[in-house]
Structure 1
Amino acid sequence: MADILSKTNVFSSNFHHQNHKIRTWDSVSGENKSAHVSFKPFNVRSSSRSSFSNFSVRKVVAGRPNALKAAAGACNSKMSIGLKKAPGWWEKGLKTNMKEVEGPNDLVESLLNAGDQLVVVAFFSPGCGGCRALHPKICQLAEMNPDVQFLQVNYEEHKSMCYSLNVHVLPFFRFYRGAHGRLCSFSCTNATIKKFKDALAKHSPDRCSLGPTKGLEEKELAALAANKDLSFTYKQKTEQPMDVPGQEKILTASASVSNINSYPPLPLPRPLQSNTTSNAIKDTDNNTLITSGR
């Protein structure tokens, strides 16, 4: 019965539009003999194939754009994930004593926490061909000198900080150590790598510097703090007066003089009442005048 009803839905349109000889099935099933179904026997196979083929084609065509969009989205996500995971040339071959600086605060803290250890600050740019060619040799030198700390500053990510530090040439290097602060600064390429090796050999021996670690200079710290593009704060140190030998004695002497002046005035001498005393005073006055005349 279900097969017959499905055939009626498929071929009912042909029955209304075409006038041909029709055969009827009197008894479709034993339960309902009054049901009659009409169809055109000669076009059953052709019409069924065309209708089902059209239905299947429409279904495939309607679902194809969604499938393409899903596949394209999956490809894009895989490509984006692959691009994010791919490291740059400046991230390859890094050693344990090499670190990339994240900002001015990180740079200042790294220099201050290094103590007497030699620190090499390397300024580079991902688009600089000289920086890229020099990077493998810097990694080799870092591996040969594990006691030296290498800090890498990406110029493209920290342009404003580099401007404040007066870095305008790449690749550029600065050497720092302990209380001495900056030791030297220069620019070199792969052809002039000897300059870097000489500076490393000169300043790499162990040294003990007296005083706290200096790091960046005062003017550099002030320039970083004045830069509005950077979230860096710096409070300048107040200069304390130096201890001068003998300064305490001078202060105590001045204090004693001030104390003397603060005493009450002395009483005036009383006038003499007798004539003898007045004559004695006159004699003394004459004597003094004579001596002064001589």
Structure 2
Amino acid sequence: MAEVLGKANLFTTCNYSQKKNQEGGGSLCSKRISFCLKKNSFSSLKLKSQALGSDFNGQTVVFLEKKSVNKRRLCQVPINAQMRSGLIGRIQKWWEKGLQPNMKEVTSAQDLVDSLMNAGDKLVIVDFFSPGCGGCKALHPKICQLAEMNPDLQFLQVNYEEHKSMCYSLNVHVLPFFRFYRGAQGRLCSFSCTNATIKKFKDALAKHSPDRCSLGPTKGLEEKELLALAANKDLSFNYTPKPVQAVPVPAQEEILVSKEVRSDSGTKLPLPLPTRSLNPKGSEEKTLVGSAR
């Protein structure tokens, strides 16, 4: 009888609340239920409790009843789930705020080289910054404003903390730091400036921003910089040096034409064209034969 009572009455409320919780999925709160069992009552239940190693005969037994409450009021969705579902947007870093369509963050050394080569005649400004640099953080809003005012320019951002090895190979040791590139001219200028010396950046922008047409292929990084990046074991960058082209030597006929001799009268006269004196020995033989006749 005690066993039936324990299964049917004592734990009915807990089982019901657990089932209700599984169906509803709401938050849970506890309700305290206590009662006392008299001594020498339900002997079979007493024997069972002794077999389990516990003795609650004559003591207060406490059960917790789980009761579902309004899940609209207490339901809490994890932060990660809210971010994935779009309920909460990811907190932007300061270097991610105010970015314009013509601003791009460089992901690798190969990305930097490709971005410069694909820019053509467009002016490219490489911005080296660090998340922990106060000067970079203060200057960032103005750089974004200048990028918005000059949509034809390309701004490349290089995170110093993520690409330290690449920055060492490019001899960048001070921040914030900027380099200007354009077409076949390659690097135009490089300098460091802060929010207080922003005029230096504006002057370089005004000097190099006018449209220009390059007569040769896009140069990008200098040869020594490319070799330094390729020699860096921390970077997955490969570069094959360009073959050295031999300087063309002028033809012998052109050298003869450019020489001059002094005549008896003292005036400088050019030598005859090479086509007229290709074989001086043959001409002498002809003249000797003619004189003999």
Whether the TM-score (by the shorter chain) exceeds 0.5 is yes
Structure 1 residue 166 corresponds to structure 2 residue 165: no
User: Which secondary structure state, in structure 2, belongs to the residue aligned with residue 167 of structure 1?
Assistant: coil
Specify which of 4, 10, 14 is matched with residue 40 of structure 2.
14
Which residue pairs with 1:41 in the alignment?
none
Structure number having the greater helix percentage: 1
Which residue pairs with 2:63 in the alignment?
56
1:108-187 counterparts in 2 under 5 A? 108-187=113-192
In the superposition, relative to structure 1, how do residues 155 and 55 fare at CA in structure 2: closer, same or farther (>3 Å)?
A: same
For 1:6, the aligned partner's letter is L
Kindly tell me the number of residue pairs found equivalent between the two proteins: 206
Query: What do residues 195-229 of structure 1 show as CA deviations (whole Å, max 9, x unaligned)?
Result: 00000000000001111100000000000000000
Shift in Å at residue 6 of structure 1?
Answer: 2.4
2:227/2:239 contact within 8 Å kept = yes
Query: What do residues 89-116 of structure 1 show as CA deviations (whole Å, max 9, x unaligned)?
Result: 0001000100000010000000000011
User: Which secondary structure state, in structure 2, belongs to the residue aligned with residue 54 of structure 1?
Assistant: strand
Specify which of 221, 238, 242 is matched with residue 237 of structure 1.
242
Structure 1 residue 191 corresponds to structure 2 residue 193: no
Specify which of 79, 98, 101 is matched with residue 93 of structure 1.
98
In the superposition, relative to structure 1, how do residues 133 and 55 fare at CA in structure 2: closer, same or farther (>3 Å)?
A: same
In the superposition, relative to structure 1, how do residues 14 and 151 fare at CA in structure 2: closer, same or farther (>3 Å)?
A: same
Shift in Å at residue 249 of structure 1?
Answer: 8.8
Which residue pairs with 2:286 in the alignment?
none
Task: Mark the runs of 5 or more structure 2 residues left unpaired by the alignment.
Answer: 11-36, 44-57, 67-74, 256-293
In the superposition, relative to structure 1, how do residues 122 and 3 fare at CA in structure 2: closer, same or farther (>3 Å)?
A: same
For 1:187, the aligned partner's letter is S
* % identical equivalent positions: 68
In the superposition, relative to structure 1, how do residues 7 and 132 fare at CA in structure 2: closer, same or farther (>3 Å)?
A: closer
Structure 1 residue 222 corresponds to structure 2 residue 221: no
Distance 1:8 1:207 in 2: 90
Distance 1:76 1:143 in 2: 34
Q: Which moved more, 1:241-250 or 1:152-161?
A: 241-250
Shift in Å at residue 3 of structure 1?
Answer: 10
Shift in Å at residue 77 of structure 1?
Answer: 4.4
2:2/2:42 contact within 8 Å kept = no
User: Which secondary structure state, in structure 2, belongs to the residue aligned with residue 85 of structure 1?
Assistant: coil
Task: Mark the runs of 5 or more structure 1 residues left unpaired by the alignment.
Answer: 18-49, 61-70, 251-294
Distance 2:174 2:224 in 1: 20
User: Which secondary structure state, in structure 2, belongs to the residue aligned with residue 176 of structure 1?
Assistant: strand
Q: Please provide the CA RMSD for this pair.
A: 3.7
Shift in Å at residue 245 of structure 1?
Answer: 2.5
Shift in Å at residue 244 of structure 1?
Answer: 2.6
Distance 1:237 1:216 in 2: 13
Distance 1:205 1:214 in 2: 18
Query: What do residues 214-262 of structure 1 show as CA deviations (whole Å, max 9, x unaligned)?
Result: 0000000000000000000000011122223316999xxxxxxxxxxxx
**TM-score with structure 1 setting the length:** 0.61
For 1:160, the aligned partner's letter is S
Question: Structure 1 residue runs of 4+, over 3 Å off?
Answer: 2-5, 7-13, 74-84, 247-250
